[in-house]
Amino acid sequence: MGSLFRSEEMALCQLFLQSEAAYACVSELGELGLVQFRDLNPDVNAFQRKFVNEVRRCDEMERKLRYLEKEIKKDGIPMLDTGESPEAPQPREMIDLEATFEKLENELREVNQNAEALKRNFLELTELKHILRKTQVFFDEQEGGVNQTTESMTRALITDEARTAGASMGPVQLGYMEKSNEREDYLPCFVAGVILRERLPAFERMLWRACRGNVFLRQAMIETPLEDPTNGDQVHKSVFIIFFQGDQLKTRVKKICEGFRATLYPCPEAPADRREMAMGVMTRIEDLNTVLGQTQDHRHRVLVAAAKNLKNWFVKVRKIKAIYHTLNLFNLDVTQKCLIAECWVPLLDIETIQLALRRGTERSGSSVPPILNRMQTFENPPTYNRTNKFTKAFQALIDAYGVASYREMNPAPYTIITFPFLFAVMFGDLGHGAIMALFGLWMIRKEKGLAAQKTDNEIWNIFFGGRYIIFLMGVFSMYTGMIYNDIFSKSLNIFGSHWQMSYNKSTVMENKYLQLSPKEDYEGSPYPFGMDPIWQVAGSNKIIFHNAYKMKISIIFGVIHMVFGVVMSWHNHTYFRNRISLIYEFIPQLMFLLLLFFYMVLLMFIKWIKFAATNEKPYSEACAPSILITFIDMVLFNTPKPAPSGCGVYMFWGQHFVQVLFVLLALGCIPIMLFAKPMLIMQARKLANVQPIAGASSDAETGGVSNGGPHGGGGPHEEEEEMSEIFIHQSIHTIEYVLGSVSHTASYLRLWALSLAHAQLAEVLWTMVLSIGLKQEGWFGGVILTCVFGFWAILTVGILVLMEGLSAFLHTLRLHWVEFQSKFYKGQGYAFQPFSFDAIIENGSAAVEE
């Protein structure tokens, strides 16, 4: 089979590269993305490898580019992204790149430092401007300022209780201070400054308590917020002026201001000096505004020029770093002139890889061609499944359960059909499926533009990555919706109902207990496609009919799905030439499933074919036996209960004998699955006289994955398991399969349950929401209908499409992972992770955006 159904055949190769050609050759392999290198220096510290200095230089360049990117984003400058991926630069070009980045970083840092200094100066002048304005108001209020306060100073003794309460300081007059009963005059003075507004109450209390109320504080808010030059935040500040007497209080006040990070500014006492200083401050502010504008323009020009090339620079640096990181995985030969590497490569791409190596050699100008030798190994190769944009999402669903073992059957191609189909069985509605399909189709049509946006919204990335799954789920849901004849809980009467009313129509519609007779009211031929629309108005009988129909098709689809999974194990056993597993596992498993559960499916079809409401006894509807009771009696060997008069006990002749035979054969398969394989392994060991070694895989001894055999990989002489472990493993596997066949069959009933729940929710929304608007009349009814329809549409999309769709998706995922894949899929491999520039750049871009 092709790689779509199995992973690619892989080969372990040894690569010899001349030192001067190694960089160019690895660059070509990175563009190709088909080689997974192995680390040949696992015991060597990362800081002791040959190209560690080059990697550090790349890290430093990345740091500078991230700094530039941060500054560009801060200014909101768009970065040019052409979508092209430039080639990896030559090693000699690293010096030019380093010089360019160094120059840009230094220039930008210098501009930022100058701009910060200018902004700090501008802030100081702005604060001084507000101080001069506010203090002028303070002085004007006192008609002469501080000099008059010395004339009218009185003793200001504030009680301890008032100080403890932290009373707000009002305009008090400062008095003389008494020391040792001696009168001493102090010249009154003041300080002015600004402080953050949120610190002002604490600042005021501290001044009051520390100075014992012998200070006079006035403050006023600065209306416009000021810009902090350090981080660019807007801060709110207030102007204050403090009057006090004496050097001791002056020292204390300044220390308190320093502790609260208040900024003090000089403020002349004379009004003329204050006016002159204010004029000088305004002139300097105007000059600073001009210089700041020029500085910002220069900074903007530097960032715009850098933004044009930033994406390409990131790509180049990451490619250089990836190349040197890969070269660190190589070994040096004795002569120090040749690099030796080991790598996994797809067998079909060896010629393509050799061509890439030749191109790299020609680019480097080397005269010695590279050598690529295939090696023999007993190791399990990595699993590599080729995907495209359509199959990638389905393969991701499979790999989320576990990466396939090497050359194991790949469930992804079959999942492309079975996954959306089982989803649609639960989600079947023509209207809801159309909404989902249109959303998926929109993402497919716009995928180039949407992919170029590279958003870091995780939910959107999940939707966009699964756009083809969403589209197929919507299309299949439209199909099952037509089968159910269900569109927003209503039916489409395209071909006309095949039921005719023999009663008066009003009588039938008003009497909920009156039913149509299949003998008299049915035409005899079924509706051409899907369900007859008459079931939409069937009342309580509708859910009974849908219940029986959907329950049976759920079991039918489930058994077919599981049988298909068991058949997939046959492909694995034959491919790996595992004859013991083929005979003593596959055949008993298939017989067990067919003799019990597939037989139950056949009984359903026999019941549908032989029994009908229009038939006479013993094949009338009243004589139809219950499939569930029949299956239980079959497994327990019970004798069926007597049938009603004129009806038969069995569906066909010899049914009892067939059922007993099938159950006995199915029970006989269990000991074969349990003991046959371990006993044959033990017998083979005795004949070969092999001593067991702990820790191996039983598949290897029984002809399992033979990596060195005809299908690629290592050899059959791997380590062997203890016999006790083989018996335990086989017992667990057998018990899991036997019990799982019962539980897995019942698990498929979720198809029936979710389908009924989805249909009932849609009917509830129609009946309790939209029908209210449809019953209104007149222009007012039109307004009501518009509002009700909007509410109904929101609930439909939010609950029935999104929430119910997510629920059906998760249940479908479980049916594939557990019920289907457990029959043949081990998922014990490890993914092929080639050295690819595309993957490295994509992951690097996501990391930077985060």
Q: Where are the beta strands (DSSP E) in 80-142?
A: none
HSE-up of 537 (CA within 13 Å, CB side)? Answer: 14
Alpha carbon distance 776, 767 (integer Å): 14
**Higher local confidence (pLDDT), 273 or 417:** 417
**Percentage of the chain modeled with pLDDT above 90:** 53
Q: Which of 558, 545, 571 is nearest to 411 (CA)?
A: 571
> Which conformational region is residue 531 in: left (phi greater than 0), alpha (psi within -120 to 50 degrees), or beta?
beta
pLDDT of residue 178: 36
- pLDDT above 60 for 153: no
Please report the DSSP string for 693-736 in residue order.
-SS--HHHHTT---TTSTTSS--S------HHHHHHHHHHHHHH
Q: Between 540-575 and 412-427, two packed helices, what is the crossing angle to 10 degrees?
A: 170
Alpha carbon distance 205, 167 (integer Å): 8
pLDDT of residue 391: 93
Handedness of CA 183, 184, 188, 189 (dihedral sign): negative
Structure tokens at 733: 């596997």
> Where does the pLDDT of residue 166 fall: very low under 50, low under 70, confident under 90, or very high at 90 and above?
very low
555-568, pLDDT tens digit by residue?
Answer: 999 999 999 999 99
Q: Which of 815, 817, 823 is nearest to 555 (CA)?
A: 815
Alpha carbon distance 529, 495 (integer Å): 9
**What DSSP designation does 803 have?**
I
Alpha carbon distance 243, 156 (integer Å): 14
Pairing of strands 371-375, 36-37: unpaired
Q: Which residues of 589-628 are buried (b: 16+ CB within 10 A; e: fewer)?
A: bbbbbbbbbbbbbebbeebeeebeeeeeebbbeebbbebe
Structure tokens at 681: 């392994």
pLDDT mean over 799-827: 95
pLDDT of residue 750: 95
> Where does the pLDDT of residue 142 fall: very low under 50, low under 70, confident under 90, or very high at 90 and above?
low
What φ, ψ does residue 238 adopt, rounded to 5°? -130, 150
Strand order in the sheet with 188-196: 216-221, 237-245, 188-196, 263-265
Alpha carbon distance 118, 258 (integer Å): 23
Alpha carbon distance 375, 471 (integer Å): 45
Cα–chain center distance at 224: 45
Q: Which residues of 301-328 are buried (b: 16+ CB within 10 A; e: fewer)?
A: ebbeebbebbbebbbbbbbbbbbbbbbb
Alpha carbon distance 220, 429 (integer Å): 69
Average per-residue pLDDT for the chain: 85
Among 263-277, 336-350, 430-444, the range of highest mean pLDDT:
430-444
pLDDT of residue 484: 93
Alpha carbon distance 464, 785 (integer Å): 34
Q: Which of 542, 533, 535, 489 is nearest to 762 (CA)?
A: 489
Range in 61-75, 138-152, 246-260, 332-346 the model is least confident about:
138-152
pLDDT mean over 250-279: 88
**Higher local confidence (pLDDT), 560 or 698:** 560
- pLDDT above 80 for 465: yes
pLDDT mean over 121-129: 90
- pLDDT above 80 for 599: yes
Alpha carbon distance 342, 330 (integer Å): 8
Tell me if 404 sits within 8 A of 398, measured CB to CB.
Answer: yes
**Percentage of the chain modeled with pLDDT above 70:** 88
pLDDT of residue 133: 85
399-423, pLDDT tens digit by residue?
Answer: 999 999 999 999 999 999 999 999 9
pLDDT mean over 150-164: 34
pLDDT of residue 720: 63
**What DSSP designation does 244 have?**
E
27-58, pLDDT tens digit by residue?
Answer: 999 999 999 999 998 888 888 888 999 999 99
Tell me if 351 sits within 8 A of 374, measured CB to CB.
Answer: no
607-665, pLDDT tens digit by residue?
Answer: 988 888 777 777 777 788 889 999 999 999 888 877 777 677 788 888 899 999 999 99
pLDDT of residue 661: 96
Tell me if 714 sits within 8 A of 379, measured CB to CB.
Answer: yes
Rounded-to-10 torsion of CA 301, 303, 304, 309? 140
Q: Residues near 344 by Cβ (< 8 Å), separated by ≥ 6?
A: 10, 11, 12, 13, 35, 36, 38, 381, 382, 832
pLDDT of residue 174: 41
Alpha carbon distance 239, 193 (integer Å): 6
pLDDT of residue 664: 96
Alpha carbon distance 35, 26 (integer Å): 10
**Higher local confidence (pLDDT), 136 or 257:** 257
487-528, pLDDT tens digit by residue?
Answer: 998 888 888 888 877 777 777 667 777 777 777 777 778 888
Maximum pairwise Cα distance, the chain: 133
pLDDT mean over 346-351: 93
pLDDT mean over 688-707: 44
**Higher local confidence (pLDDT), 334 or 409:** 409
Give the residue extent of every domain in the chain.
Answer: 22-111+296-341+352-361, 116-142+187-293, 389-494+529-687+722-823
Range in 170-184, 347-361, 624-638, 673-687 the model is least confident about:
170-184
Range in 152-161, 202-211, 443-452 the model is least confident about:
152-161
> Which CATH number is 116-142+187-293 given?
3.30.70.2750
Alpha carbon distance 707, 408 (integer Å): 12
> Where does the pLDDT of residue 844 fall: very low under 50, low under 70, confident under 90, or very high at 90 and above?
low
Burial class of residue 152 (count of CB atoms within 10 Å of its CB; 0-12, 13-18, 19+): exposed
**Higher local confidence (pLDDT), 420 or 541:** 420
pLDDT of residue 99: 94
Q: How far is CA 436 from CA 237, 416, 474, 792, 806, in A?
A: 56, 17, 5, 17, 12
732-773, pLDDT tens digit by residue?
Answer: 999 999 999 999 999 999 999 999 999 999 999 999 999 888
